[in-house]
Amino acid sequence: MGNSPHGMLAYGYDLGGGDSGWSVTNTTESGRLDLSWHFDEYDDFVEHAEARLLERIAGFTETDWTVEGFRQRRDAAQDLIGVTFTEHGDVQQPSYALTAHVIDASWERPEPIRLADLEQLRVAESWDERLTTALNILEVTPRQQDPAWLLMTSG
């Protein structure tokens, strides 16, 4: 049984990764990430990046997921961050986008999208500012000049 491909429309920055290589300027000549806080290419970049954002934006530093209420506190802290990492491309070697909003396409039927409503939501929820704050904290400079709507697939 295989994975079914699915589509996503997301607002943010493509960071690359996986087999396609990183789409950021913070790389070594060999294409590895070159960030002051990310030392091992075999470490999970997203796990460490999320922990850094949780600590710097929401003040969340807990690591013991077995403590009662951990998940609720982590979810509340994640909501304060307002961005997430969205995997796309090959499921074995995914690429990543830093996103402020994601719409998943349904396998069963098309999803109607009102672009004017999305634009109002972008402004009201300060997506651009949230993305900029996250990029600054992560010390990441995407090759993409500005945040944009990204049409991505996974599966």
Query: What's the distance, CA 88 to chain centroid?
Result: 10
Q: With cut-offs at 50, 70 and 90, classify the pLDDT of residue 43.
A: low
Partnered with residue 12 across adjacent β-strands are 99, 148
pLDDT at 14 over 90: yes
Distance between alpha carbon 20 and the CA centroid of its chain, in Å? 16
State yes or no: pLDDT of 126 exceeds 50. yes
**Mean pLDDT value across residues 26-33:** 90
* The model scores a pTM over 0.75: yes
Select from 134, 120, 124, 44 the least CA-distant residue to 83.
134
- Residue 20 tokens read as 């396609």
- If one compares 90 and 54, the residue with the highest pLDDT of the two is 54
| CB-based contact 37:139 (threshold 8 Å) | yes
| pLDDT above 90 (res 18) | no
Q: What is the mean pLDDT of residues 41-47?
A: 78
